[in-house]
């Protein structure tokens, strides 16, 4: 068994143990936390075995699955996959710790009866979601990726529909319908890709390293590209297929929202880099202008709608739509700075989203509401909570010194060097970020404390421990991003070579006698 199989197997076993072994709610949570910590340790071992600048796909394992169709159970990790594996395995134990009482709070808010089975089921689904997500980030067979791309909807559907709040059933069904629709379109493209591979090579294959070397007709590329891209654009999400995300965020527990938006939605942008660009380079280049315009619309649409939100969780959902606009923009400007920035942005956005939802979750646990108007003057009774909300907000607006600043700067730099007016327009989106974050902080933390809020308790030890690792990682990567960039730079070089893209030459001539 390879390290990647072990990485997937640990949370998968943990899911079965937590969900089906009778235990008290506290013991079930402890077991879930233990399995996720072990998974993180395995991920660290995998990171140490990875060699930046070596082969594109490393730690490769491959097993026969459906030989008649040329389908294998193949795993391997590249630079981007490794970073997202780290993100998923880091966030999940922190989500469990921060959301220790999420199920009980949701049951109380919904008026449901307390049930030990509910706790076991929720944390069991969380571990199953982790196992599936890790498989998706390491899958080297396109069919394996598609199979789990659809299967992962099952645990998320139940985590929203059964364990959520408010209009949870509506949000869960809407999430499922949007995701399944994109998946069906992708299935059509997958079938064509399988047929084309069989015609060109003589034997059908969906093994990614082999598919990259296949020269597909540009017209066929275009059809398959859009089939894949639509599915990934819904998952990301990219305007105009974004309406499911705020509903899902608003009706989820904070822990579910972190895993959905902070980790699972990265499958959209990850899929664009992993599959759309290397497999269909001509189609990707042709589609880039349209996708760049959609990305710019997403930046401003998400930011403007976030400013007017009255619900905290829905507001973070719209903020994420704006941020995904930056991520996808960086991918399709076809510069090394833009794609490194987008890849780094996926990590930074996951950390920032986790911080925001954790702090908002703590606020909701104290006041039992997510309505912004119910909070005012919290900096007086809960100064530490107020400070953490400000810190989380500053990560969302990409303040220098935060990891998000590095990624956003690289995306904008890559955009300016390729299409200057695109970079200029995208830069205006930073203004919206400052507006929605500072308004949110002002409306909840400043001013005279209301009667309902004056006796609220500040962060306890468990809540501080859950936040601390995220704060450390955000600040360390903000000042020293080399550990991540050293992994991402060779990966992006490989993708740029596969697409046949090169960085534009400098527009300012070099001084006489200066070597380029």
- For residues 283 and 226, give the distance between their C-alpha atoms in angstroms, rounded to a whole number: 8
Q: Between 142-151 and 168-201, two packed helices, what is the crossing angle to 10 degrees? A: 170
- For residues 221 and 216, give the distance between their C-alpha atoms in angstroms, rounded to a whole number: 6
Reported confidence tier of residue 367, pLDDT bands at 50, 70, 90: confident
pLDDT of res. 512: 60
Mean pLDDT along residues 350-377: 90
- For residues 241 and 234, give the distance between their C-alpha atoms in angstroms, rounded to a whole number: 6
In percent, the amount of the chain with pLDDT more than 90 equals 59
pLDDT (tens digit, 9 = 90+) per residue, 394-405? 999 888 889 999
- For residue 314, the SS3 value is helix
**58-64 contacts at long range (C-beta below 8 A, 24 or more positions apart):** 59/2, 59/3, 59/4, 60/2, 60/140, 61/2, 61/4, 61/5, 62/140, 62/207
Mean pLDDT along residues 156-173: 89
pLDDT of res. 105: 76
In percent, the amount of the chain with pLDDT more than 70 equals 96
pLDDT (tens digit, 9 = 90+) per residue, 427-443? 998 888 889 999 999 98
pLDDT of res. 202: 80
| Residue 506 in this model has a pLDDT that exceeds 80 | no
Tell me whether residue 80 is exposed, middle or buried, using C-beta atoms within 10 angstroms of its C-beta: 0 to 12, 13 to 18, 19 or more: buried
pLDDT of res. 116: 66
Mean pLDDT along residues 485-490: 92
Assigned domain for 513 exists: no
pLDDT (tens digit, 9 = 90+) per residue, 304-360? 999 988 999 999 999 999 999 999 999 999 999 999 999 999 999 999 999 999 999
- For residue 65, the SS3 value is strand
- For residues 206 and 249, give the distance between their C-alpha atoms in angstroms, rounded to a whole number: 34
Mean pLDDT along residues 131-139: 95
- For residue 311, the SS3 value is strand
Assigned domain for 204 exists: yes
Give Rg (Cα) of the chain: 22
Assigned domain for 50 exists: yes
Mean pLDDT along residues 370-392: 89
Nearest to 253, CA basis, from 106, 36, 133 = 106
Mean pLDDT along residues 371-378: 86
Reported confidence tier of residue 516, pLDDT bands at 50, 70, 90: low
Which of residues 69 and 147 earns the better pLDDT score? 147
Assigned domain for 413 exists: yes
pLDDT of res. 225: 94
Which of residues 112 and 231 earns the better pLDDT score? 231
pTM, whole model, 2 decimals?
0.92
Q: In which residue are the tokens 């199989």 written?
A: 5
pLDDT of res. 26: 86
Whole-Å CA distances, 451 to 14, 374, 375, 383, 455: 44, 11, 10, 17, 8
Whole-Å CA distances, 240 to 50, 148, 188, 411, 515: 38, 25, 21, 21, 47
| Residue 514 in this model has a pLDDT that exceeds 60 | no
CB 284 within 8 A of CB 333: no
pLDDT of res. 106: 76
Domain count across the chain: 1
Assigned domain for 516 exists: no
Assigned domain for 495 exists: yes
- For residues 46 and 378, give the distance between their C-alpha atoms in angstroms, rounded to a whole number: 43
Mean pLDDT along residues 56-65: 89
Neighbours of 365 (CB within 10 A): 17
Reported confidence tier of residue 452, pLDDT bands at 50, 70, 90: confident
Q: In which residue are the tokens 């408010």 written?
A: 166
Neighbours of 67 (CB within 10 A): 8
Q: Which domain holds residue 402?
A: 3-499
Assigned domain for 504 exists: no
Assigned domain for 85 exists: yes
Reported confidence tier of residue 510, pLDDT bands at 50, 70, 90: low
């Amino acid at each position: 068994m390879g390290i990647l199989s072990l990485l997937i197997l640990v949370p998968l076993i943990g899911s079965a143990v937590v969900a089906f072994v009778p235990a008290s709610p506290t013991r079930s949570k402890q077991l879930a936390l233990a399995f996720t910590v072990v998974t993180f340790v395995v991920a660290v071992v995998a990171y140490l075995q990875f060699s930046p600048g070596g082969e594109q796909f490393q730690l490769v394992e491959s097993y026969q699955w459906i030989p008649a169709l040329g389908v294998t159970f193949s795993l391997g990790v590249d630079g981007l996959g490794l970073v997202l594996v780290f993100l998923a395995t880091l966030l999940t134990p922190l989500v469990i710790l921060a959301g220790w009482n999420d199920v009980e709070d949701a049951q109380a808010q919904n008026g449901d009866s307390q049930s030990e089975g509910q706790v076991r089921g929720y944390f069991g689904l969380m571990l199953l979601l982790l196992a599936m997500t890790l498989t998706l980030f390491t899958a080297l067979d396109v069919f394996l990726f598609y199979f789990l791309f659809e299967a992962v909807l099952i645990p998320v559907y139940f985590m929203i529909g059964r364990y959520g709040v408010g209009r949870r059933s509506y949000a869960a069904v809407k999430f499922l319908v949007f995701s399944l629709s994109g998946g069906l379109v992708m299935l059509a493209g997958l079938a064509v890709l399988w047929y084309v591979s069989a015609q060109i090579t003589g034997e059908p294959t969906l093994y990614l390293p082999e598919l990259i070397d296949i020269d597909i007709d540009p017209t066929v590329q275009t059809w398959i590209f859009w089939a894949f891209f639509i599915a990934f654009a819904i998952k990301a999400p990219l305007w105009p297929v974004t309406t499911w995300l705020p509903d899902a965020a608003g009706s989820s527990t904070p822990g579910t929202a972190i895993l959905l938006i902070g980790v699972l939605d990265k499958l959209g942008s990850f899929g664009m880099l992993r599959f759309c660009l290397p497999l269909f380079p001509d189609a990707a280049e042709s589609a880039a202008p349209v996708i760049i315009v959609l990305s710019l619309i997403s930046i401003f649409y998400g930011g403007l709608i976030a400013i007017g939100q009255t619900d905290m969780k829905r507001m973070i959902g719209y903020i994420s739509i704006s941020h995904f606009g930056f991520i996808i923009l960086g991918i399709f400007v076809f510069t090394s700075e833009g794609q490194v920035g987008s890849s780094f942005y996926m990590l930074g956005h996951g950390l920032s989203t986790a911080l925001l939802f954790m702090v908002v979750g703590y606020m909701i646990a104290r006041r039992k509401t997510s309505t912004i108007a119910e909070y005012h003057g919290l900096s007086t009774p809960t100064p530490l909570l107020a400070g953490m909300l400000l810190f989380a907000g500053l990560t969302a607006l990409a303040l220098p010194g935060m990891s998000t600043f590095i990624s956003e700067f690289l995306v904008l730099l890559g955009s300016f060097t390729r299409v200057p007016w695109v970079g200029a327009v995208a830069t205006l989106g930073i203004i919206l970020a400052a507006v929605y974050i500072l308004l949110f902080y002002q409306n909840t933390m400043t001013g005279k404390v209301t009667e309902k809020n004056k006796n609220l308790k500040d962060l306890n030890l468990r809540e501080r421990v859950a936040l601390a690792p995220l704060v450390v990682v955000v600040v360390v990567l903000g000042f020293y991003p080399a550990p991540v960039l050293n992994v991402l730079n060779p990966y992006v070089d490989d993708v740029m070579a596969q697409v046949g893209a090169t960085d534009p030459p400098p527009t300012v001539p070099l001084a006489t006698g200066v070597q380029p």
